[in-house]
Amino acid sequence: MKKSTKTLIIVICAVLLAVILASVYFSNRATEVDTNEFWKKTGFCLNKDDSTIKDYDEITINGKPYYASKSKSEIKYVVIDSYVLKGYNEKGRLIYKSSDNINWESVRDYLNELERTGCIKGFNFKDPNEGSFFSSIVLPLLLNVVFIIIILIIFRQMSGGGKSAMDFGKTKTRVSQSRVRFTDVAGAEEEKEELKEIVEFLKAPKKFVDLGARIPRGVLLVGPPGTGKTLFAKAVAGEANVPFFSISGSDFVEMFVGVGASRVRDLFATAKKNMPCIVFIDEIDAVGRQRGAGLGGGNDEREQTLNQLLVQMDGFETTDGIIIIAATNRADILDPALLRPGRFDRQIYVNLPDVKGREAILKVHARNKPLAKDVNFKTLARLTSGFSGADLANLLNEAAILTARANRPCITNTDLYEAINKVLMGPQKKSRLVTETDKRITAYHESGHAILARLLPNCDPVQEVSIIPRGRAAGYTMTRPDDDSNHINKSKLLDDIVMTLGGRVAEEIVIQEISAGASNDISVVTQRARKMVTEWGMSDKIGPVNYGDNDQIFVGRDYQTRTPYSEETAKIIDGEIETIIKDAHKKATDLLSAHKNLLDVMARLLIERETIYSEEVDMIMEGKTVAEILENIDERDRKRKENPFGISPNENSTNQTNG
């Protein structure tokens, strides 16, 4: 329902209620008097004792003398309504009514005589069993109309989207003409090539038909959140210049039986009227899960919806002009019937962008943002390893917000650098009160991470070390990989585990006490060691056998499933994990004990300056004195204001270890 229509209905209801209330109010507005006083207002005296007033004329009713005066009459019309005397003035307005009940027969003669003498101009009797036209017909009608209007408004609100109460089965799809093009989608050239065939088919289907080719009925976009799956679907519709129907998988699910299937039928019926077109179903796993799964044997309503979707995608009716594009990040739980040829027969995995893709994405999102001349997208792309397209868009947005907060005219490297750290680990909490003891523990903790990262050959280079709290971390050590490697060997994993345990080991060596600050580090190394043993085949005792579960638990399918290995094998797995972690802990202890002087220097610098960068870390490892490093830091800070990244254009992007 439109807002203007709803407002008009409300106004009409308000006017009707006002009319009803006003009518009831004015119809009952009269001065209540006793019967004798009422007759006096008509100029009539029932008692001869009241005849002391000289201008009263004597009249006779049924042989008895009474008195009447035309000049003393305020009431000109009398109505007996439900045994109550009502008096009206010359203009017909109700001014008096009796407080006592009266009998019609007993007053008829009085009223006749009053009319004869001219004291009143007329009288009438109203049957108490009959209401007035207003009260008996108009008022109930108005009340019924108001009641019906209110009920209709309530049903429209319950059905949602301004639909009527009987429109539950109508689709909630949103129809638009997409303006997105492939040029707006950066960093995924291979994915775009796969989708260009869909665009060509929608533009020129005869080319494929003549060759006997059948275009894929459906395309399933699979990938992590934020990689641009929805944007790809909009780009296909925009390039083909066809209507774009978008709906979420959860929009089909309803508490009423049969509503989901009805909405599927209505969706395809609407799409057939607009062929050729694109139908995009976001988060299809909400309705496309494997049938028969669930603690109760599955959800009948959801399964009916899925069955209807399967029939519509590959049924008896032709839908050659309709391309179904769906998106999900849980392809593992989809029903196999949904993925067979003839339905979603083409799956496109949308990966996280590489360094080249990140650079292109950053350029797209920076189109309408003022940037400083020295901003280098290549450097920025290398600093954002593991970022999705949505993360990069958020990065530039956060940088713009920081720029506005500082009242600067354009986005600088300083803003971008702080935005990266904010996206990765949260905002700095400089106002948090930190005791000297906590600061000392954090300084040694982060120093342990940084020194081991430099001593171990397979760890990523250190970019920044800080004891300023960010998010839930009391401090952090940020490293950056040399490249976007897709393969991680065993030696690197082992060195990373040693480096991650460096914070805990540094506390043991210097503080000689164990704190809870390494809880996240312990969780990380445990998960990594378990994957090495159970999934990646990096254990000599276990061998290249997968005992892990790559997927998340799918309730109904995985609930109460048996562990795919024996208790004896579980003991071996636990032993191997324990061995990896203990060996890494011993190696970290040996290295930091041998370089305790470096640990002390770095911790002192962190307590003094709170944050140090790769240059300071290099000087510490070279054996420079504290005085030399402090002198160099002042010069470095001045240069860092101009180039806060502090790296050359050929260096690569970052990841972090929170301590």
Residue with tokens 């040829």: 341
DSSP line for 584-636: HHHHHHHHHHHTHHHHHHHHHHHHHHSEEEHHHHHHHHTT--HHHHHHHHHHH
State the amino acid at position 1 in one-letter form: M
Question: Would strands 462-466 and 476-479 be described as parallel, antiparallel, or unpaired?
Answer: antiparallel
Residue 479 in contact with residue 462, Cβ under 8 Å? yes
DSSP for residue 473: B
- Cα-flanking dihedrals φ and ψ of residue 578, to 5°? -60, -40
Question: Would strands 218-222 and 346-349 be described as parallel, antiparallel, or unpaired?
Answer: parallel
Counting other chains too, the contacts that 425-434 makes at CB distance below 8 Å and 24 or more residues apart are: 425/470, 425/471, 425/473, 425/476, 425/656, 425/658, 426/470, 426/471, 426/472, 427/470, 427/471, 428/468, 428/469, 428/470, 429/468, 429/469, 429/470, 430/468, 432/469, 434/469, 434/474
Question: Would strands 94-101 and 84-88 be described as parallel, antiparallel, or unpaired?
Answer: antiparallel
List the one residue out of 530, 569, 568, 561 whose CA is nearest residue 548.
530
- Cα-flanking dihedrals φ and ψ of residue 310, to 5°? -65, -40
Question: Would strands 31-33 and 94-101 be described as parallel, antiparallel, or unpaired?
Answer: parallel
Q: Find the angle CA(137)-CA(143)-CA(144) to the nearest 5 degrees.
A: 90
Which is catalytic among the residues 283, 303, 398, 446? 446
SS3 string of 414-471? HHHHHHHHHHHHCCECCCCCCCHHHHHHHHHHHHHHHHHHHHCCCCCCEEEEECCCEC
Q: Cα(340)–Cα(347) distance, rounded to whole angstroms? A: 10
Q: Cα(296)–Cα(645) distance, rounded to whole angstroms? A: 56
Alpha helices in 118-138 (DSSP H): 133
Look up 568 and say whether it is catalytic.
no
Enumerate the active-site residues: 446
